[in-house]
Structure 1
């Protein structure tokens, strides 16, 4: 019996990348997983694959920026499954630009997905989780809340705000006695489409990003499945006394001096 048997989870941006890894890991532990994304073909394919393997998954189209989308998603999940226990706010976008090159339109777009999306998601699920007796909200932040680089000026700002929103929501839920834990995961470089690119220009070929990867003490990028394991930990009772926590999964990068020559350490 899996650690999440009988639980129902929503994962935004769950069609691929770190979100896809979270979906796979939650389903492997027995949860019914609702893949919420705008990548309809990829999301439906992932759900079909999991169901063929004997897991429990479904796909629902979701624009995380839309309040009505969120309301329909949550009400539908509760109607079909009777409960909602886990939310993974993973959907995110990036634009590797400096403050001088960035536009206000780019910044607004990133904030809408990376910050407003999780805000709307948390507001939507809290009543349903309370009705289910509690739950776990997991927000996918970034190690860019600690690692400051010119090319993450917009992305890092959005994720830093999300980390703060995570903690204030966690304290609110705890003090109200909702039995809802709210934590954030802060990944570093992982082998996903967002970092490696999916055709065309590859962010990993940008010198600053390549230097970041080379500086990782463990000498490699993370595997998406390694984030999936952290998601399961935070979703399960293994982390029952943890809320408002920030879990960094970046091979130790945030604790070293970025840009220093390892040979000189």
Structure 2
């Protein structure tokens, strides 16, 4: 049976867990050869092993994607191992909450490094490899906070807004090379990072689930919800799609919540 991204070579950053792993796993299930990039070595190795144990193809490569040298090496290893590079999913991200007053220069720089600089570095080295391969697809994992203001996510919102502009710039600059670039907005995913953030603020997973029940479809999203869209954007089915914003957020960007009957 033919798969939607058969034999495509795809790098997924921040893929040791959460949304990134969900994306990597589904791409592999659809026939891709996946390079899992993360700085969590033990979790990254386990993620690749899980995919391989299911009969698919994945390798783990340690990479701190805020470091240019690591991003250059990541692309080089993907090409050396599999002979080409067809796609890149810039998923690595960090979303600490802080108002303007709470945001130090150091925190600002750290958030920018993880959410924007990493994508710049990865694209800088991935695009020449894609040009050599005759084309490719880049998916930048964005956020509704890149479109809408939130007073306690000043740096994160600014970073995701910058990532959107980078996406559109690259889409225009490299379209003639058959390289596409799109911005995907997942919704509220009950990921390890989201749970850890809630716990750091005195909450727990049960509180999060209760909040998720108030969303339009009655639940938080899963990594797989985002992964379905990534498979489409990486596949040839989306060959005419570039510079686009994909809302895979269960209506969150429109502030849609379940209607309540009032007695």
How does the TM-score come out when normalised to structure 1? 0.91
SS in structure 2 of the partner of residue 147 of structure 1 = coil
2:113 aligns to what? 112
In the alignment, the residues of structure 2 paired with residue 170 and residue 201 of structure 1 have an alpha-carbon distance, to the nearest angstrom, of 38
Secondary structure of the 2:189 match is coil
Partners in 1 of 2:145 and 2:215 — Cα distance?
14
Residues 210/202 of structure 1: CA separation in 2 closer, same or farther (3 Å cut): farther
Give unmatched runs, 5+ long, in structure 2.
none
Pairs within 5 Å for 1:1-265: 1-174=2-175, 177-197=176-196, 200-201=199-200, 213=212, 216-256=215-255
Deviations 1:120-159 (A, max 9, x none): 1111100100111100000001111233222222211110
**Matched residues in 2 for 1:81 and 1:210: separation?**
41
Look up the SS of the partner of 1:157 in the other structure: helix
CA offset at residue 42 of structure 1?
0.5
CA RMSD of aligned residues (A): 2.3
How far, CA to CA, are the matches of 1:204 and 1:160 in structure 2? 28
| Whole-Å separation in 2 of the counterparts to 1:211 and 1:98 | 26
Q: Is the CA contact 1:196–1:203 (under 8 Å) kept in the aligned structure 2?
A: no
Gaps of 5+ in 1: none
- Contact 1:183/1:245 (<8 A) preserved: yes
> 2-side partners of 1:214 and 1:96: how far apart?
23
For residue 149 of structure 1, give the secondary structure of its aligned residue in structure 2.
coil
Q: Distance in 1 between matches of 2:168 and 2:198?
A: 37
Which shows bigger deviation, 183-192 or 141-150? 141-150
Could you say what secondary structure the match of 1:185 adopts?
Answer: strand
Distance 1:47 1:157, change over 3 A: same
Question: Which TM-score applies when normalising by structure 2?
Answer: 0.91
Within 1, Cα distance between the matches of 2:168 and 2:25? Answer: 26
SS of residue paired to 1:137:
strand
**Quick check: 2:213–2:220 contact (8 Å CA) kept in 1?**
no
* Alpha-carbon distance, 1:224 to partner: 0.9
Give the deviation of 1:215 after TM superposition. 5.8
Q: Judge conservation of contact 2:215–2:256 (CA < 8 Å) in 1.
A: no
Structure 1 window deviating more from structure 2 (140-149 vs 236-245): it is 140-149
Secondary structure of the corresponding residue to residue 177 of structure 2: coil
Over 3 Å counting, the alpha-carbon distance change for 1:33 and 1:204 in structure 2 is farther
CA shift in 2, pair 1:192/1:203, >3 Å? farther
Whole-angstrom CA distance in 2 between matches of 1:27 and 1:122: 21
Query: Tell me, what secondary structure is at the counterpart of 1:87?
Result: strand
